[in-house]
Amino acid sequence: MKETPLACLERLISSLATLVAEEAALLEAAAWEEAADVQQRIRVVADEVTRLARELGQQGLLPEKVRTRAEAIMVRQQATLLALQKNFARMQNELRALDSTRGRLNVVRPAYVGKTRLQATGAFSDHG
């Protein structure tokens, strides 16, 4: 028995919900590579959900309940992506701040390293 487009859409929406939940859990666990793999799978399923929903909608065969469920999942996934983008931007800012600090330390360090070595050498030579 062949699956109807609506049944296929409902199955894909369930799969999408599972993948979005899995992605959120992986991101919370900072499992970045695994989350990226899941995002690829989400894109494939979301594209197919969009295509099927559009076809069924044009034919007037898309129940409101199914459309609403699909939209809710997509909104949740987009919120996850937005949070990830904000986190990424924050991390980039922290890395820039660390690079800036490292640069300042590299400028200041020679003055302190030079004095410390001279003091150490002088102290040892006094006891000579």
pLDDT at 106 over 60: yes
Q: Render pLDDT for 109-121 as a digit per residue (tens, 0 to 9).
A: 877 776 655 555 5
| C-alpha–C-alpha distance, residues 60 and 76, integer Å | 26
Maximum C-alpha span of the chain:
97
- Residue 7 burial (CB count, 10 A): 10
**What does the pLDDT read at residue 83?**
86
| C-alpha–C-alpha distance, residues 114 and 119, integer Å | 9
Average pLDDT of the residues in 70-76: 91
Tally of domains in the chain = 1
Q: Token pair of 70, please?
A: 């699909």
User: Which residue, chain included where needed, has tokens 């969009």?
Assistant: 50
14: domain range? 5-127
Total residues found in the chain within this entry: 128
The answer to pTM > 0.75 is: no
**What does the pLDDT read at residue 128?**
46
